[in-house]
Amino acid sequence: NAGVTQTPKFRVLKTGQSMTLLCAQDMNHEYMYWYRQDPGMGLRLIHYSVGEGTTAKGEVPDGYNVSRLKKQNFLLGLESAAPSQTSVYFCASSFDVPRKNSYEQYFGPGTRLTVT
């Protein structure tokens, strides 16, 4: 099992450019999440999905869109990148019904995005 993978690992964008970050999981998880990590602020939830075809806003959704067309994939889009979106982005996934009372979220390795 590869677990949770993210593509790309690094990216530099100019202000106004667009891009899509891909998250894939092979654990048959129902729930998927996108976080951003900024120094001194921990991880903040951008958007999440409770199943194929569903998405919902998290704590900091502005400037981002998401799609979950397939159960195993969760895409995060930036339509018009801004310097404030410079961050490290993490994807995570989990079961909807906790296995062995776990509630664990499994994280990808992250994507480091710089917007100049």
Partner 1 sequence: AQSVTQLDSQVPVFEEAPVELRCNYSSSVSVYLFWYVQYPNQGLQLLLKYLSGSTLVKGINGFEAEFNKSQTSFHLRKPSVHISDTAEYFCAVLDPQGAQKLVFGQGTRLTINP
What residues form DSSP beta bridges with 31? 94
> Whose CA is closest to 35, among 108, 98, 114, 115?
108
Distance between CA atoms of residues 38 and 18, nearest Å: 20
Q: With binding defined as CB under 8 A, does residue 45 bind partner 1?
A: yes
- 81-110 positions binding partner 1, by CB under 8 A: 90, 92, 94, 96, 98, 101-105, 107-110
Residue 35 or 64: the one with the smaller Cβ distance to partner 1 is 35
Sign of the CA dihedral 53, 57, 60, 64? positive
Residue 28 found at the interface with partner 1 (CB under 8 A) = no
Does position 58 interact with partner 1 (CB under 8 A)? The reply is yes
Bridge partners, residue 37, by sequence? 43, 88
Q: Is 44 in the site for partner 1 (CB under 8 A)?
A: yes
Write out the residues near partner 1 by the rule CB under 8 A: 4, 31, 33, 35, 40-45, 48, 50, 56, 58, 90, 92, 94, 96, 98, 101-105, 107-110
